Amino acid sequence: MTTVLVTGGAGFLGSHLCDYLLARDHDVICVDNFFTGRKENIRHLIGNPRFEVIRHDIVHPLFVEADQIFNLACPASPKAYQHNPIKTIKTSTVGMVNVLGLAKRCHARVLHTSTSEVYGDPLIHPQTEEYWGHVNPIGPRSCYDEGKRVAESLCINYHVSHDVGVRIIRIFNTYGPRMAPDDGRVISNFILQALRGEPITIYGDGEQTRSFCYVSDLIEGMYRMMNQETDIGPINLGNPVENSMLELAEKILEITGSSSKLVYEELPKDDPQRRCPDITKARSVLDWEPVVDLKSGLTSTIDYYRTRLATNAK
């Protein structure tokens, strides 16, 4: 049994990770500044003697003791990370230094959640870990993409210079219950629009692709990565099944039975045209691959939003 610090633990992925760790008898310290995270995501854990919450911003140093640190603190949706781009950069750089400094002091291992966004608008398909990416360093997504690239560099350099144990995963679009309904990500947008009978907003022509991984698959991969001994990564974690936004909208309309119409809106600047992970490395190092298909994952996610709408939860 270990004490595990989860930064960003009240967010979408972080709260599922806290559940997973507690179910495996770890002590969990959840650190969050509640920018995009919600108390509701972790309310069911309050009262568990192995669970603690600290309201803290990782841009400031933190002094706690832990054996392992999962670093998830960072807004993930374009709408959220572009809200205050300088703060987003600080979280991925100054915040990362604080997390790595804590790890150095405690001799803790750090798993850092990097992103497929380090590949930018990729020129090779599917994306392998060897690809260095195609990122616009001054575009509207750069606060996130470049921040995450610096964070990867910090991880490697703390490992080389200070022998800190690090693990880096590059997460591709992941979805599921507890995604913030108003964060502008495509799956939450489309499901809520379908359930409310509002138009489905397709940005651009809808032919751009993403590969959607269900949250339980991702958390399993993340845990395996932290607890394997040999490979610091980066390792891609995502579902290699690629879908266009039009295909996604059709699936959501079919499952919800909604008669919402499609409307076409302007494509955001620098929106990647295609994205699909090569997960050969995750398969061999972690013996991991996603098992939840898009239809069942969407069905669970739709049930979650239906319940939220019915109970008028914020």
Which chain residues interact with ligand NAD by CB under 6 A?
Answer: 7-8, 10-14, 32-37, 57-59, 72-76, 80, 91, 95, 113, 115, 171, 173-174
Tokens of residue 180, six digits: 């913030």
- Considering 81, 144, 158, 223, which one is annotated as catalytic? 144
With CB under 5 to 8 Å by kind, the binding choice for 12 among ligand UDP, ligand NAD, none is ligand NAD
The nearest distance, CB 173 to ligand NAD, in angstroms, is 5
Active site residue 131: no
Window 55 to 84, contacts with ligand UDP (CB under 6 A): 77-78
The nearest distance, CB 115 to ligand UDP, in angstroms, is 8
Query: Which residue, 166 or 294, is less far from ligand UDP as judged by CB?
Result: 294
Query: Which residue, 222 or 232, is less far from ligand NAD as judged by CB?
Result: 222
Task: Name which position in 52, 67, 198, 271 contacts ligand UDP (CB under 6 A).
Answer: 271
Running DSSP on this structure, what letter comes out for residue 164? -
Window 134 to 173, contacts with ligand UDP (CB under 6 A): 173
Backbone φ and ψ for 283, nearest 5 degrees, come out as -65, -45
The nearest distance, CB 15 to ligand NAD, in angstroms, is 8
DSSP run (H or E) holding 114: strand 109-115
Q: Total binding residues for ligand UDP by CB under 6 A?
A: 15
Query: Which residue, 75 or 78, is less far from ligand UDP as judged by CB?
Result: 78
Work out whether the CA dihedral 281, 284, 285, 287 comes out positive or negative.
Answer: positive
CB 173 within 8 A of CB 211: yes
Query: Which residue, 247 or 271, is less far from ligand UDP as judged by CB?
Result: 271
Query: Which residue, 19 or 258, is less far from ligand NAD as judged by CB?
Result: 19
Running DSSP on this structure, what letter comes out for residue 261? P
| Residue 167 bridge partners (DSSP) | 111
Task: Name which position in 136, 203, 231, 244 contacts ligand UDP (CB under 6 A).
Answer: 203
Nearest CA to 68 out of 229, 266, 244 is that of: 229
17 binds ligand UDP (CB under 6 A): no
| Residue 175 bridge partners (DSSP) | 214
Tokens of residue 45, six digits: 């854990």
Q: 35 in helix, strand or coil?
A: coil
Nearest CA to 259 out of 197, 210, 216 is that of: 197
With CB under 5 to 8 Å by kind, the binding choice for 239 among ligand NAD, ligand UDP, none is none
CB 143 within 8 A of CB 85: yes
Q: How far apart are CA 177 and CA 181, in angstroms?
A: 10
Window 243 to 262, contacts with ligand UDP (CB under 6 A): 245
Nearest CA to 210 out of 176, 181, 245 is that of: 245
Q: Catalytic residue numbers? A: 144
- Using CB under 6 A as the criterion, which residues of the chain lie in contact with ligand UDP when the complex forms? 77-78, 173, 185-186, 189, 201-203, 208, 210, 245, 267-268, 271
